[in-house]
Amino acid sequence: MLDYSALAALAAVVREGSFERAARSLHVTPSAISQRIRMLEERVGCALVVREQPCRATDAGRRLCQHVDRVRLLEQDLEGAVPALAPVGIARVPLPVAVNADSLATWFAPAVAAFAAEAPVLMEIAVDDQDHTTEWLRSGAVLAAVTGTPRPAAGCNSQPLGSMRYLAAASPAFMARHFVGGVGAGSLARAPSLVFNAKDELQAKWARRLCHRHVELPRHTLPSSQAFVTATVAGMGWGLHPQALIDPYLTDGSLVELVPHAPLDVPLYWQQARAASALLDELTRQLMAAARRALLPP
């Protein structure tokens, strides 16, 4: 039988980033937290916490944290079915999920906000590229994720959400400076592009499809969906943007498409841990409904 007070201490250290803050959140001393985790590490036979600033979980530690998250959600379900077990006041449970930045900036945030306003949860939202959020599921860091991968991670279900439409756009002044002779492999190899981070391959995929070969793009890195649009309007570079974010700028002429009628549609999927809880099922229902309204049909 696992020691759930020790598991709670582990989850608190990983969530808070230090033994001291974990102790404050659980109303115990740092030495008590340290002792509980040391006993748990002795029980499982390996390190569970990398003791850095901030502290982070090892692979085994993440698995145990995911187990704690599932148990808390199941206990929340049980308290709803047996009210006598419920504590006094609202007991909120952490619900960790991962999502790509463009979904968070468009359709995902309003849906998850509406869910969290009514559900007894504390959302823990991690942001990563849609082609990499599945790794958060595999590692046990989250219980669900918006991902670009249709194949479910082990122990998870996968459902299609729909496709997010991206448009390659730039400011009129940028177009006049860099693409006066047209948009092709040569001009794309010279004109600065914008990428979210090193994992962002959208611009490269769009250029490859347009030119039928790989084009080495000069890149600015800008890890913010909103700043991505602002920088593009200001003429910093061209980039792929969710159509929902830039429609107003296309309408007023602040942005123009590099090549009209050449969108890039990116399929998205919702993956969630199996047998998690009614709370996670309700989040899934609300997100699926929001995706049907905001995304292209799967």
CATH number at 205 reads 3.40.190.10
Backbone angles phi, psi at 91, to 5 degrees: -100, 110
In a domain, 221, yes or no: yes
In a domain, 243, yes or no: yes
Output the pLDDT for position 152. Answer: 93
Output the pLDDT for position 113. Answer: 97
In a domain, 238, yes or no: yes
Helices (H) and strands (E) in the chain, counts: 13, 11
In a domain, 142, yes or no: no
Which residues of the chain have a pLDDT value below 70? 1, 77-91, 275-276
Output the pLDDT for position 5. Answer: 87
Tell me which amino acid residue 26 is: L
In a domain, 154, yes or no: no
Output the pLDDT for position 93. Answer: 84
In a domain, 236, yes or no: yes
Output the pLDDT for position 69. Answer: 79
Whole-structure pTM value: 0.81
Q: In angstroms, rounded to a whole number, what is the distance separating the alpha carbons of residues 126 and 97? A: 6
Q: Which domain holds residue 179?
A: 164-265
Q: How many domains does the chain have?
A: 1
Output the pLDDT for position 270. Answer: 98
Q: In angstroms, rounded to a whole number, what is the distance separating the alpha carbons of residues 111 and 62? A: 27
In a domain, 120, yes or no: no
- For the chain, strand residue ranges (E) read 49-50, 56-57, 93-99, 121-127, 144-147, 156-170, 193-195, 219-221, 239-242, 256-257, 264-273
In a domain, 177, yes or no: yes
